[in-house]
Every structure is written in structure tokens, then in C-alpha cells.
């Protein structure tokens, strides 16, 4: 199953039936995903879908309750050799507020063998973020940039970001995503990113793949362009269904005059006479998958 | 050239870049020999995945709109004559005449757009129909 590219496993992350249980509660269930090397993946889903649990499993901060996980060809652990290839930025951006960015970089230099101090300093200088000011005195956007600079200074092969832009204003968010996109460009295929977020419209451009987790299960794990090409909104006469079986209904809405179907087409090319086909953005698609899951779990008592 | 990537359109970003370059070429805003921004410049401009830009440029190259010169950059190629100015202005006249009619009929911009898109869809629908009969 695993192909090798240049002597490396082609997938940065591969999980199979991965699950994490806390007591009797499954925070993540039956998660099967693959993340190709060099890709930038958006990890989306409602609160409690297991996004953070999954990221922690990948960092080696959690150990699986079920299933398998392989990251960069090995099992996640807290060993130095494993952690030196992983960059992780937790949701709360763990920085010492009394320390300056330069202080943080000095700690990083001591702790990481691959630490690239020049890179970290250059990044902040380009963004005009003072290196000698206490991190607690910086803006939220600047703190996020310090966190990103630290995660990237390790020269990781895999960068895991948990809700990195959630707390930022739109401008700081765009700056953060620009920094991230530049880092991906400069790494020239050697950096893989998995980033969880609620802000789907922003992710559409920076990410090339999407994973949708809902109710702790994987709903979708694929190329975003493919997702956009295959998901369409069909608008047609009330109470009717298109006369074609090359699609699967994700969400169905009825108005007094029309039927709206958000569908996944088996082929991007379609022929559905009598129906208007509209493009839908990634946010509508994700919401449809979340809604579908909720309805089905109510009616069938089963999330599948 | 400055790119604008709009979210929430359902149109993949790479296709938006392809469409914008072709549109600018058609409108004469980009001419033969003009240099397109490097991938990293586009990434910095619109916070986009570099692979998306590479894919868009590759697509434009395949369509013969641009060419890569190793170590120099990406340039707009010589464009085929395309639509003759006569035909273009004739079509534009007709469309302007039609727009005047819609105005006379009291249609607003949205209604005009709806009509236009319906006509486009009908046209496409007819083509699908003839395709499947063949």
C-alpha cells in the first residue's frame, strides 16, 4: 500500500481505524486518513469532533485506544528523534508571557538539534515584530507569528497547527496564512501541514486537501479541488429527484416551490436535464456533511 | 499583474487564476512578452497554496497562453488573432441593443443576469442533448 518516493514513504500520515477513548467516551472513532507528503490539509469539523484528539495522537501526546497511526514512517512517540521532525502549535499558543521572542528562540536553540535561529529571526524581522519585547506585550497576531516561527525553526517535516487563526482579526489571520503559505513554498515539497480550523473560507486557498471529521468519524479525506468539482447544489421542481443515479444526496432542503439537493456526483461531468446545477463553496459542503450526520444519528441512531 | 482570489465562489482558486490571466489577455491588459509574477510573489500576494499557482500556470502553459523560460520567469506568449475587432464590435453592438431593450422593459441588473445565465444554461443544455443523441 505504501509507495516510496525518493526512498521515503509517500504518505506523511496514515491512520487506520484510529480511535481515542477517555473512560467510556470516544473522542475520536474509526478515523482512517492519509496525508500525502508536501500537502497542506485542512482538518475541519464541529467542536468535539475529535480534531484536537487526532492532532495530539499525531504528535505523540496521546496514545491510541484503537487502530493504527504511522507518521513519517514511524509510530508517534515522545522520543527526541521523532519530535525533532514534528512542529506542533497548540491552540492556546504556549509561550512564556514574561519572555521575549529572542528568549524563546534561545530555548529552542538549546532543545532542538535542527534549530535554524537565523530563519526564525528573519521571519520576525520581515514582519517587523520586535524580538526584544516580552511576548505578553505583543498582539495576538504577533504571538501567533512567534509561535509559527518557533514551530518552523525546527525545520520540521510535518507541521501540525491546532486552530491557529481562530482568535485573530481578519488582517492578522491573512498575515498568518501568508507566512504559512510562504513557508510551504520555501520548503519546496519537504513540508507537510495539517491545520485544524473553523474558518473554512480562508482555508480554501491555503490548503490543497480537506479532512472532514464529524461525530468522531472521517466523512471526507481528499483533494479540495476534487471536492469542489464533485459537490454541487441541484435546484429543481418540488418533490422530484433527478432522473439519474450518478450522485449521492448529502443534504436535502425543500421550499414551497423547489427542491434543493446538495449532492456528491460520482463524476465531475454530469448531465441532469431540468435541474439547475450550482457551485457550492467548501463551507456549504462541510456544513452539509455536519448536518447530514446529525439528522441520521437522530433517525437511525447510527452515525454512518 | 495583481490576482484576486475570491472565497465562497465554489470555483477552485487555480481556475480563478487561469480565468483572470485569460481575461486580461483577452482585454489586452496582458500582452505578448509580459512577465507573470513568480509563484512566491503570488503566494505572498494572496496567501495561496504554491501548488495551486503552479497548477494554474501549468494549465495556462498547456493552453498556450504563457511559456516558461528557464531561470528567467513566465511570459505571455504570442496570442492567436482570436476574435476579429469587427466581429467583436458587432457582437458588442447587439448585446448593448439587447441591454437597452431590457432597460426599456424595466428589468434591473439582477433580472438581466438571471436571463443571461438561463440563456447560457439552455444553450449548454441543448448541446448536451445533441451529444447524447449522437
Q: DSSP letter at B30?
A: S
Is the dihedral angle over the CA atoms B52, B57, B62, B64 positive or is it negative? positive
Find the helix packing angle between A101-111 and A140-153, rounded to 10°.
Answer: 20
Residue B41: inside a domain: yes
Instruction: For A198-216, write each residue's pLDDT tens digit.
Output: 878 778 889 999 999 986 6
- Considering the domain architecture, whether residues B69 and B96 belong to the same structural domain is answered as no
Domain boundary among B53, B76, B99: B76
Domain boundary among B27, B53, B76: B76
Closest Cα of chain A to B27: distance in Å? Answer: 26
**pLDDT band (50, 70, 90) for residue A81:** confident
ipTM: 0.78
- Considering the domain architecture, whether residues B18 and B66 belong to the same structural domain is answered as yes
| Residue, of A80 and A269, whose pLDDT is higher | A80
Residue B7: inside a domain: no
- The pLDDT score that the predictor gives to residue B33 is 92
Provide, for chain A, the percentages of residues in helix, strand and coil under a 3-state DSSP scheme, each rounded to the nearest 5.
35, 30, 35
Instruction: Identify all chain B residues contacting A185, using CB atoms and an 8 Å cutoff.
Output: 39-40, 43, 50
| Residue, of B79 and B122, whose pLDDT is higher | B122
- Considering the domain architecture, whether residues B56 and B102 belong to the same structural domain is answered as no
- Considering the domain architecture, whether residues B94 and B128 belong to the same structural domain is answered as yes
Which residues are within 8 A (CB) of A267 and not within 5 positions of it... i.e. 6 or more apart? A230, A246
- Considering the domain architecture, whether residues B91 and B68 belong to the same structural domain is answered as no
B-contacting residues in A 267-296 (Cβ below 8 Å): 271, 273, 276, 278-281, 283-284
Rounded to whole angstroms, the Cα distance separating B34 from B79 reads 12
- Considering the domain architecture, whether residues B17 and B68 belong to the same structural domain is answered as yes
- Considering the domain architecture, whether residues B59 and B92 belong to the same structural domain is answered as no
Phi, psi of A90 (to 5 degrees): -75, 160
Cβ atoms of A138 and A168 within 8 Å: the answer is no
Rounded to whole angstroms, the Cα distance separating A9 from B104 reads 66
- Considering the domain architecture, whether residues B89 and B66 belong to the same structural domain is answered as no
Residue B20: inside a domain: yes
Domains in chain A (CATH in brackets) are 4-214 (3.40.50.300), 226-300 (no CATH)
- Considering the domain architecture, whether residues B72 and B95 belong to the same structural domain is answered as no
Q: Does B128 touch chain A (CB under 8 A)?
A: yes
Residue B116: inside a domain: yes
Instruction: Identify all chain A residues contacting B12, using CB atoms and an 8 Å cutoff.
Output: 224-225, 228-229
b or e along A181-219 (b: 16 or more beta carbons within 10 Å of the residue's beta carbon)? bbbbbebeeebbbbbbbbbbebbbbbbbbbbbbbbbbbb
Grid coordinates representing A149? Answer: 516561527
- The pLDDT score that the predictor gives to residue B81 is 60
Residue that is written with C-alpha cell 488573432 in the block: B81
Over residues A78-103, the mean pLDDT reads: 91
Cβ pairs A/B, distance under 8 A: 70
Rounded to whole angstroms, the Cα distance separating A60 from A53 reads 11
Rounded to whole angstroms, the Cα distance separating B42 from B39 reads 5
Residue B3: inside a domain: no
| Residue, of B124 and A126, whose pLDDT is higher | A126
Domain boundary among B76, B94, B116: B76
3-class secondary-structure state, position B44? helix
| Residue, of A118 and B2, whose pLDDT is higher | A118
The domain total for chain B is: 2
Q: Do B5 and A205 lie within an 8 Å CB cutoff?
A: yes
- Considering the domain architecture, whether residues B53 and B20 belong to the same structural domain is answered as yes
Q: Does A224 touch chain B (CB under 8 A)?
A: yes
3-class secondary-structure state, position A150? helix
Instruction: For A157-181, write each residue's pLDDT tens digit.
Output: 999 999 998 888 889 999 999 999 9
B-contacting residues in A 89-148 (Cβ below 8 Å): none
- Considering the domain architecture, whether residues B129 and B104 belong to the same structural domain is answered as yes
Is the dihedral angle over the CA atoms A230, A231, A235, A236 positive or is it negative? positive
Over residues A229-239, the mean pLDDT reads: 89
Q: Do B52 and A205 lie within an 8 Å CB cutoff?
A: yes
CATH code of B71's domain = 1.10.10.10
Which residues sit opposite A212 in a β-bridge? A44, A220
Residue B96: inside a domain: yes
Q: Does A229 touch chain B (CB under 8 A)?
A: yes
Residue A300 has pLDDT above 60, yes or no: no
| Nearest by CB: A182 against B8, B44, B132 | B44
Percent pLDDT > 90 in chain A is 59
> Which residue, among A231, A216, A205, A217, has the nearest Cα to A288 in the 3D structure?
A231
Residue B6: inside a domain: no
Q: Does B7 touch chain A (CB under 8 A)?
A: yes
- The pLDDT score that the predictor gives to residue B94 is 92
Residue B82 has pLDDT above 80, yes or no: no
Residue B4: inside a domain: no
- Residue B54 lies in domain: 13-76
3-class secondary-structure state, position A281? coil
- Considering the domain architecture, whether residues B72 and B20 belong to the same structural domain is answered as yes
Average pLDDT over chain B, rounded to an integer: 85
Amino acid at each position: 500500500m505504501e509507495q516510496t518516493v525518493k526512498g521515503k514513504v509517500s504518505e506523511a500520515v496514515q491512520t487506520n481505524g484510529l480511535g481515542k477513548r477517555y473512560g467510556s467516551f470516544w473522542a475520536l472513532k474509526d478515523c482512517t486518513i492519509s496525508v500525502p507528503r508536501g500537502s497542506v490539509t485542512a482538518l475541519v469539523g464541529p467542536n468535539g469532533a475529535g480534531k484536537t484528539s487526532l492532532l495530539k495522537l499525531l504528535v505523540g501526546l496521546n496514545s491510541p485506544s484503537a487502530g493504527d497511526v504511522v507518521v513519517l514512517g514511524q509510530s508517534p512517540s515522545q522520543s527526541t528523534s521523532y519530535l525533532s521532525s514534528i512542529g506542533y502549535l497548540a491552540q492556546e499558543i504556549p509561550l512564556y508571557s514574561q519572555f521575549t521572542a529572542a528568549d524563546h528562540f534561545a530555548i529552542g536553540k538549546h532543545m532542538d538539534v535542527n534549530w535554524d535561529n537565523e530563519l526564525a529571526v528573519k521571519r520576525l524581522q520581515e514582519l517587523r515584530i520586535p524580538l526584544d519585547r516580552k511576548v505578553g506585550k505583543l498582539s495576538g497576531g504577533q504571538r501567533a507569528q512567534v509561535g509559527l516561527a518557533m514551530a518552523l525553526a525546527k525545520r520540521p517535516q510535518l507541521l501540525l497547527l491546532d486552530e491557529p487563526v481562530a482568535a485573530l482579526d481578519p488582517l492578522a489571520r491573512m498575515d498568518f496564512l501568508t507566512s504559512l503559505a510562504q513557508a510551504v513554498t520555501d520548503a519546496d515539497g519537504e513540508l507537510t501541514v495539517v491545520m485544524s480550523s473553523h474558518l473554512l473560507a480562508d482555508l480554501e486557498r491555503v490548503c490543497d486537501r480537506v479532512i472532514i471529521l464529524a461525530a468522531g468519524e472521517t466523512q471526507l479525506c481528499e483533494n479540495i479541488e476534487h471536492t469542489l468539482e464533485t459537490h454541487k447544489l441541484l435546484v429543481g421542481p418540488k418533490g422530484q429527484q433527478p432522473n439519474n443515479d450518478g450522485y449521492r444526496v448529502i443534504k436535502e432542503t425543500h421550499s414551497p416551490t423547489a427542491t434543493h439537493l446538495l449532492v456528491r456526483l460520482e463524476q465531475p461531468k454530469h448531465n441532469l436535464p431540468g435541474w439547475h446545477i450550482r457551485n457550492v463553496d467548501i463551507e456549504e459542503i462541510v456544513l452539509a456533511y455536519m448536518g447530514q450526520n446529525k439528522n441520521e444519528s437522530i433517525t437511525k441512531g447510527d452515525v454512518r | 499583474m495583481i490576482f484576486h482570489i475570491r472565497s465562497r465562489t465554489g470555483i477552485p482558486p487555480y481556475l480563478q487564476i487561469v480565468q483572470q490571466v485569460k481575461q486580461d489577455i483577452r482585454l489586452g491588459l496582458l500582452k505578448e512578452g509580459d512577465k507573470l509574477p513568480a509563484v512566491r510573489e503570488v503566494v505572498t500576494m494572496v496567501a495561496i497554496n504554491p501548488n495551486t499557482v503552479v497548477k494554474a500556470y501549468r494549465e495556462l502553459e498547456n493552453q498556450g497562453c504563457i511559456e516558461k523560460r528557464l531561470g528567467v520567469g513566465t511570459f505571455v506568449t504570442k496570442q492567436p488573432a482570436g476574435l476579429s475587432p469587427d466581429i467583436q464590435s458587432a457582437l458588442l453592438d447587439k448585446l448593448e441593443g439587447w441591454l437597452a431593450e431590457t432597460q426599456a422593459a424595466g428589468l434591473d441588473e439582477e433580472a438581466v443576469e438571471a436571463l443571461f445565465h438561463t440563456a447560457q444554461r439552455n444553450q449548454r443544455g441543448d448541446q448536451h442533448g445533441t451529444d447524447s443523441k449522437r
